[in-house]
Amino acid sequence: MVTAPSTLSPSKASTFTQCPRRYRYTAIEGLVEPPTPATVTGTIVHAALEHLFVEHPRGTRGRAQLEATTATALATAIDEGEVEAAGIAPHQLDALGTKVRAIGEGYLKLEDPNDPVAVATELFVDTHLAHTHLRGIVDRLDLRRDGTFAIVDYKTGRTPGPAYEKKAFEAMRIYAMLLEPLLPAPVSVLRLYYLSSSTILEEESSPARNGAVRRRTEALWDAIERSCAADAFPPRPGPLCRFCHFAAHCPGDPPSTRAGMDPAP
Ligand code: SF4
């Protein structure tokens, strides 16, 4: 038997669903997966967009402002050692800069940053659920013209194929459920911004759906508690083993190919 963690996030819920063994390594044993070129790219782009919205009032946001916040976010990631920790060598910094600027251009093709009424960015949400605390960070919360809200999640990886589109919204459905008691009006739409391909995927949201999401998330937590009680976290090898830091030590016979500069899906 192992002790169940005291918190659950949408990303950890996804990890448990995809591979219980990887969940054990990270959520139970507390092993930290080091940054990768894909994750550090995502961190820089998220920080650049957050600062674009926080530092520049609506009506003053444009390409020059995004380039400036991107340069600052890149410099911060370098100064704080995150870029080096991700295995990006000094001679690859220009390529990283080109990449994050190109993703910023991809964002500007999606929308005029002066259009959305962003009421929060990088919003931390937390609620009690079953025997745990469910928590997460929402990239952006927009107020819509009809008084309802939209949740926006930025993605720097590949756009999922049609077979995986519905699955891609799972974390956002949990965010909508978390936000429901905190907002004066419902969340009516979930938006995934795939910045590299300038693609938006949308799904409608409603309080009725949140009830089902809550029940599903509680069932998932029950499954985690049962796994902890039996210390049963079987490896589930699959395509995501390419992006798993524990592949070299995993008893699940994962595929040996590791990811390079490719973004995680
Ligand atoms: S290598 Fe694959 S099977 Fe092993 S823990 Fe990682 S994701 Fe799971």
Does the beta carbon of 246 lie inside 6 Å of ligand 1? Answer: yes
The CATH number for 166's domain is 3.90.320.10
Does the residue 205 lie in any domain? yes
Same domain, 106 and 183: no
Does the residue 195 lie in any domain? yes
Same domain, 209 and 138: yes
Q: How far is the CA of 239 from the centre of ligand 1 (A)?
A: 9
18, 21, 253, best to mutate for ligand 1 pocket (most atoms within 8 Å of CB) = 21
Angle (CA) 145-197-118 rounded to 5° is 25
Does the residue 265 lie in any domain? no
Q: What is the pTM of this model?
A: 0.89
User: Which residue do the tokens 């089902």 mark?
Assistant: 212
Q: Whose CA is nearest to atom 2 of ligand 1?
A: 241
> What total of structural domains would you count in the chain?
2
Does the beta carbon of 62 lie inside 6 Å of ligand 1? Answer: no
Same domain, 143 and 72: no
Same domain, 141 and 90: no
Convert 59-115 into a string of H (helix), E (strand) and C (coil). Answer: CCCCHHHHHHHHHHHHHHHHHCCHHHHCCCCHHHHHHHHHHHHHHHHHHHHHCCCCC
> Which pLDDT score is estimated for 256?
58
Q: How far is the CA of 103 from the centre of ligand 1 (A)?
A: 29
Q: Choose one of 85, 110, 135: the last residue of a domain.
A: 110
d(CA 206, CA 183): 13
Same domain, 127 and 206: yes
Whole-number Cα distances in Å, 259 to 119, 240, 262: 36, 10, 6
pLDDT bracket for residue 258 (50, 70, 90): very low
Q: What average pLDDT does range 153-176 have in this prediction?
A: 90
Same domain, 65 and 101: yes
Does the residue 264 lie in any domain? no
pLDDT bracket for residue 255 (50, 70, 90): low
The DSSP 8-state label assigned to residue 172 in this structure reads H
Same domain, 80 and 131: no
Same domain, 135 and 100: no
Does the beta carbon of 236 lie inside 6 Å of ligand 1? Answer: yes
d(CA 224, CA 189): 29
Q: Choose one of 214, 239, 259: the last residue of a domain.
A: 214
The gap between the terminal CA atoms of the chain, to the nearest Å, is: 33
Does the beta carbon of 235 lie inside 6 Å of ligand 1? Answer: yes
Print the domain residue range for 124. 117-214
Tokens of 209: 């759906």
Q: How far is the CA of 192 from the centre of ligand 1 (A)?
A: 26
Work out whether strand 149-155 and strand 187-194 pair parallel, antiparallel, or are unpaired.
parallel
pLDDT for residue 264 is more than 80: no
Residue 92: partners with Cβ closer than 8 Å, 6 or more residues away: none
22, 24, 31, best to mutate for ligand 1 pocket (most atoms within 8 Å of CB) = 22
pLDDT digits 0-9 by tens, 27-58: 999 999 999 999 999 999 999 999 999 999 99
Does the residue 197 lie in any domain? yes
Same domain, 79 and 167: no
Reference 81, options 69, 94, 90; nearest CA is 90
Does the residue 141 lie in any domain? yes
Same domain, 99 and 81: yes
Same domain, 155 and 203: yes
Q: Choose one of 187, 214, 241: the last residue of a domain.
A: 214
Q: Whose CA is nearest to atom 3 of ligand 1?
A: 237
d(CA 118, CA 152): 10
CA-19 nearest atom, ligand 1: 8
pLDDT digits 0-9 by tens, 174-233: 999 999 989 999 999 999 999 999 999 999 999 888 999 999 999 999 999 999 999 999
Reference 152, options 14, 12, 37, 53; nearest CA is 53
Does the residue 32 lie in any domain? no
Does the residue 228 lie in any domain? no
**Beta-bridge partner residues of 15:** none
156 contacts 168 by C-beta, under 8 angstroms: no
**Beta-bridge partner residues of 138:** 123
CA-21 nearest atom, ligand 1: 5
